[in-house]
């Protein structure tokens, strides 16, 4: 097989971009060391009006890493970060990497049961959090339940003027670790050492810890930085909105680590608010705004958006979940710029694909494999069978960014790989130019009357309805077809009611007969993950519970 046959995407690469570009792989602290040396006095992070230079960030990292080592936290230790978007996250993340520890991310919105599972499964005995009331409550509970052995609390007022309560015993103030003497030599870290246990769940079972190494994360950053197209931005000159949660791999690597390496300033925000985000764009002249679909939908629904000054924006991207094609078109019309995007997963760190400026404009387009990454489409029945261009199957990927496996789950790890490629569970197809279209998640697929029905395709069509704000489509039991599609919809403010008959009439020329929803439910809100992603899994679980309850009735 020729290179052109194995790597058809290379012929579609933008001028000046090479798939075989050198990918830098090394221990993560080196990334910050280089940035601090190159951009020393430049602002790295802006938080509540305070600017933290690259030099100051690196100095705080070294001070905390010294304190962690003095406290017995180093190689072999696993520490959980239960932090929102404050500067303590970057400081703690790099400090733990410097000290040689493993890191576990806890979501600020995790239920207590999920927190306990992640700590027990990972073996983390220490937790670092901050003095936000909800987080302090959870930290106290973890100690009471003896799930955590130690909890360190960082004051948010360290970064700006704010009244914060004293650290309650037996929780320990993190700042007390900042005064330790540095070690004679830092622990040696190798690229293959596991740095991050990033928990990823899916729709069934308990979350699994994806083992991401120092090399995986530095490779992902290098891969992103190796991409070149006409939208490329000058390093050191960008102001980046960082409102995506840092406990999520998209924000951590594709935004935070990548832009630290590029010497750009990060406007760090603890939570997303559409009105505040627009103010930041106008007043602080944001140039780069990475978001997720729910953020873009919220911005589009802001009154008077067309009158706001968005001229500073140079790059807007969407990730974390598929963006409805209709939403993408509307957003590009408002901003006057093409919305960038791509595809990736927790297990890929999350580098995967990139949409080029001249990529075909069609629903589900996720672009070309990024430099150093190989992707192929394999049979859903036999993952060793590689499918030709145009055929639909499972997306399989390999590269230096792909994770090492699932923590303490060798069987799950073995099942996830074939011939060195990670089987993603995503369904897609690749055309002859190497452009990949994402069809749906394999676990979301509905088998209706013997046909494969992909909820994402139906959702794309429903989003074209002018009265629809958001939607989720799932499969429900159907006596005739086995399964059928059901649509859950929220409506735009002021929109009239929507009936199933009216929706079916609208969809008549947009989806096939076998894809037509058999049911419609209008809701005020739809369930979301902690990162704002719409959760079809919650609705599927709700439907299963309702069906079980109905079956148990006399």
Q: What is the mean pLDDT of residues 309-335?
A: 86
**Per-residue pLDDT band at 530 (split at 50, 70, 90):** low
* Inter-residue contact 302 to 278 (CB < 8 Å): yes
**At residue 554, does pLDDT exceed 70?**
no
* Inter-residue contact 288 to 312 (CB < 8 Å): no
Task: Return the pLDDT at 231.
Answer: 83
Secondary structure element (H or E) that encloses residue 471, with its range: strand 468-478
Q: What is the mean pLDDT of residues 219-244?
A: 94
Residue with tokens 């429900």: 476
**At residue 203, does pLDDT exceed 70?**
no
Q: Which two structure tokens, joined as six digits, stand for 143?
A: 């100690």
Compute the distance between CA of residue 426 and CA of residue 122 in angstroms, rounded to an integer: 27
Q: Which two structure tokens, joined as six digits, stand for 424?
A: 């993603």
Q: What is the mean pLDDT of residues 447-460?
A: 79
Q: What is the pLDDT of residues 424-437, one digit of tens each?
A: 999 999 999 999 99
Q: What is the mean pLDDT of residues 11-15?
A: 95
Mean pLDDT value across the chain: 91
Task: Say which residue, 288 or 480, is predicted with more confidence.
Answer: 288
**At residue 132, does pLDDT exceed 80?**
yes
* Inter-residue contact 361 to 265 (CB < 8 Å): no
Domain boundaries 52-188, corresponding CATH code: 3.40.50.980
Q: What is the mean pLDDT of residues 305-321?
A: 89
Residue with tokens 């009216």: 502
- Nearest CA to 78 out of 205, 208, 198 is that of 198
**At residue 153, does pLDDT exceed 70?**
yes
Task: Return the pLDDT at 201.
Answer: 65
Compute the distance between CA of residue 187 and CA of residue 185 in angstroms, rounded to an integer: 7
Q: Calculate the dihedral angle through the C-alpha atoms of 14, 236, 178, 85, rounding to the nearest 10 degrees.
A: -60
What residues does each domain of the chain span?
52-188, 445-551
Compute the distance between CA of residue 520 and CA of residue 19 in angstroms, rounded to an integer: 45
What predicted TM-score, i.e. pTM, was given to this entire model? Answer: 0.84
Q: Which residues pair with 268 in a beta bridge?
A: 242
Query: How much of the chain exceeds pLDDT 70, in percent?
Result: 95
**Per-residue pLDDT band at 341 (split at 50, 70, 90):** confident
CA distances from 157 to 165, 293, 371 (A): 10, 32, 42
Q: What is the pLDDT of residues 455-501, one digit of tens each?
A: 888 998 899 999 999 999 999 888 767 788 999 999 998 998 999 99
Phi, psi of 143 (to 5 degrees): -70, -45
**At residue 550, does pLDDT exceed 80?**
no
Task: Return the pLDDT at 450.
Answer: 62
Show the CA angle centred on residue 405, arms to residues 404 and 408, nearest 5°: 125
Secondary structure element (H or E) that encloses residue 394, with its range: strand 393-398
Task: Return the pLDDT at 154.
Answer: 96
β-strand pairing of 436-441 with 365-369 = antiparallel
Task: Return the pLDDT at 3.
Answer: 63
For the domain made up of 445-551, the CATH class stated in words is alpha beta
Q: Is the dihedral of CA 108, 110, 116, 122 positive or negative?
A: negative
**Per-residue pLDDT band at 297 (split at 50, 70, 90):** confident
Q: What is the pLDDT of residues 84-119, one digit of tens each?
A: 999 999 999 999 999 999 999 998 777 788 899 999
Query: How much of the chain exceeds pLDDT 90, in percent?
Result: 71
**Per-residue pLDDT band at 202 (split at 50, 70, 90):** very low
């Amino acid at each position: 097989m020729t290179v052109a046959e194995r790597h058809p995407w290379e012929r579609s690469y933008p001028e000046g971009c090479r798939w075989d570009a050198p990918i830098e792989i090394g221990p993560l602290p080196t990334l910050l060391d280089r940035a601090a040396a190159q951009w020393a006095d430049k602002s790295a992070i802006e938080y509540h009006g305070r600017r933290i230079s690259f030099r100051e960030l690196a100095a705080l990292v070294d001070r905390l890493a010294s304190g962690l080592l003095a406290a017995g936290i180093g190689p072999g230790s696993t520490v959980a970060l239960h932090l929102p978007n404050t500067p303590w996250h970057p400081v703690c993340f790099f400090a733990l990497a410097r000290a040689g520890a493993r890191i576990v991310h806890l979501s600020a919105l995790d239920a207590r049961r999920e927190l306990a599972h992640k700590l027990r499964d990972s073996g983390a005995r220490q937790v670092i959090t901050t003095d936000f009331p909800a987080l302090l409550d959870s930290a106290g509970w973890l100690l009471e339940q003896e799930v955590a052995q130690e909890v360190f609390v960082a004051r948010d007022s360290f970064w700006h003027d704010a009244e914060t309560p004293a650290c309650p015993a037996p929780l320990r103030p993190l700042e007390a670790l900042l005064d330790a003497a540095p070690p004679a030599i830092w622990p040696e870290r190798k690229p293959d050492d596991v740095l991050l246990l990033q928990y990823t769940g899916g729709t069934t079972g308990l979350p699994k810890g994806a083992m991401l190494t120092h090399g995986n994360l530095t490779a992902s950053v290098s891969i992103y930085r190796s991409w070149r197209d006409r939208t490329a931005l000058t390093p050191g000159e960008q102001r980046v909105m960082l409102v995506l949660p840092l406990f999520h791999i998209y924000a951590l690597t594709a935004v935070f680590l990548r832009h630290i390496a590029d010497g750009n300033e990060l406007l760090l925000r603890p939570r997303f608010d559409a009105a505040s985000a627009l103010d930041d764009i106008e007043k602080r002249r944001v140039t780069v705004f990475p978001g997720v679909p729910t953020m873009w939908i919220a911005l589009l629904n802001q009154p008077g958006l067309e009158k706001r000054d968005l001229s500073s924006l140079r790059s807007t991207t969407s990730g974390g979940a598929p963006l409805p094609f209709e939403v993408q078109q509307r957003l590009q019309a408002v901003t006057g710029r093409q919305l960038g995007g791509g595809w990736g997963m927790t297990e890929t760190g999350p580098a995967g694909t990139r949409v080029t400026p001249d990529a075909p404009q069609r629903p589900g387009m996720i672009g070309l494999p990024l430099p150093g990454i190989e992707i192929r489409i394999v049979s859903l029945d036999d993952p060793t069978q590689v499918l030709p261009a145009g055929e639909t199957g499972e997306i399989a990927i390999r590269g230096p960014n792909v994770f090492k496996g699932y923590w303490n789950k060798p069987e799950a790890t073995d099942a996830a790989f074939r011939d060195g490629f990670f089987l993603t569970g995503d369904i897609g197809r690749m055309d002859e130019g190497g452009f990949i279209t994402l069809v749906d998640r394999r676990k979301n697929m509905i088998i209706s009357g013997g046909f494969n029905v992909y909820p994402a395709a139906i959702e794309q069509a429903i989003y074209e309805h002018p009265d629809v704000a958001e939607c989720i489509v799932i499969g429900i039991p159907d006596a005739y077809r086995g399964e059928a599609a059901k649509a859950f919809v929220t409506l735009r403010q002021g929109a009239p009611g929507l009936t199933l008959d009216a929706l079916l009439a609208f969809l008549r020329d947009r989806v096939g007969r076998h894809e037509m929803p058999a049911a419609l439910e209008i809701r005020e809100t739809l369930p979301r993950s902690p990162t704002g992603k719409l959760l079809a899994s919650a609705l599927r679980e709700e439907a299963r519970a309702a069906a079980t309850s109905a079956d148990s009735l006399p």
